[in-house]
Structure 1
């Protein structure tokens, strides 16, 4: 016989007072969603792009709820042991959370969700530390796409520019990056200035919890 939901006291004694209310609310909302939704999906957010995730939330806005928070707090809501789990089997999901994670409580079945994320991707600008997917060179010459007021900023990025009759001009050829090179902040700024996107944001489901069936690690 399935066990009843447990109304357990949440211990957040190590949390600063100004944050305690927010974290207690997160615990309450996660537990409420555990009662309401039949599926819980866990995501790893190591390469999170806010613009890409906004599209995901928009796609599932009518049938799902997303939660971000410290794993320790989300773990309290779900339960970290069999004795403290909020509902049958949830402690296994609580133990699974590691790194930067998000939870999606949903009415959408796993086949539909996994199919969506297998095809979902969104191009974005690279960040410092990302690996260049292409070699990007700039030939010497005028850069009419930039206003003359941008020239000092481009020089600060490391570009050999000058103003020639009011037109921003690259005085010599420049190699911005080489394929498979680890990008630094200045390179990323230049790539963004030229609207060159090297990041491909994808989001995969790391685990699925289904009421009555338990946890499945993917």
Structure 2
């Protein structure tokens, strides 16, 4: 009776194998490992930082499971187990000799403001400025009314009568308000890279 062949080993794509190897090598070459959650981070922001600091910061968009497996091989790197526990959602890892404090300063200088979407939460007062909107009167007037924004018609366009706060910190932005803000080119959602967790020379 012939013996059953052993199960075939799972073949991982070259890109994943290279990432797995890099995630074992890079932590031993740099004094700082920083984790960033990729919520509302534009690809262009990441590319700009990669280009500007390519010799100082190695940025890797990771697959969490691959990173966890790689980090299991790095028991001797202080803090690596704590870092592994932070891997949830879409993450990026940064390997550098720049301090976490300076990293955050660099990232703060590269933040952008995005149009709001329904369900976004205001982090500060969102105001509609007084003045000419350049929008012709029509159904959109009802959107101003719902948002409690006083208007007047002058010269065939809608004017906002006074600066008006339409959302406070912690308020959820409705689909209707997001639509109005978009028409007014008000971009209230701050987006950028931030250091959510870091290991610096073994210290968390």
TM range (shorter): 0.5 to 0.7
Give 1:104 deviation, angstroms.
Answer: 0.4
Unaligned runs of 5+ in 1: 1-11, 145-150, 161-166
Identify the match of residue 88 of structure 1 among 70, 77, 91.
Answer: 77
**What count of residue pairs does the alignment treat as equivalent?**
178
Q: How far has the Cα of 1:74 moved from its partner?
A: 1.4
Give, in whole Å, the separation in 2 of the partners of 1:208 and 1:140: 47
Residue deviations 1:5-62 (CA, integer Å, cap 9, x gap) = xxxxxxx95xxx6x74432222122223224333211122334344444444344223
Instruction: Output the TM-score relative to the length of structure 1.
Output: 0.59
The residue correspondences of 1:156-167 to structure 2 (distance < 5 A) are none
Cα RMSD of the aligned pairs, angstroms, is 4.1
Which of structures 1 and 2 has the larger relative contact order (alpha carbons within 8 angstroms, sep 6+)?
Answer: 2
Structure 1 match to 2:20: 27
Structure 2 partner of 1:66 = 59
Aligned to 1:45: 38
CA separation of 1:182 and 1:137: change in aligned 2, threshold 3 A: farther
Q: Residue in 2 aligned with 1:214?
A: 202
Asked whether the equivalents of residues 121 and 172 of structure 2 are also in contact (C-alpha less than 8 Å), the reply is yes
Q: 1:205 to 1:137 in 2, by over 3 A?
A: closer
5+ residue gaps, structure 2: 1-8, 145-154
Q: Distance in 1 between matches of 2:156 and 2:69?
A: 57
In 2, distance between residues paired with 1:77 and 1:108?
Answer: 23
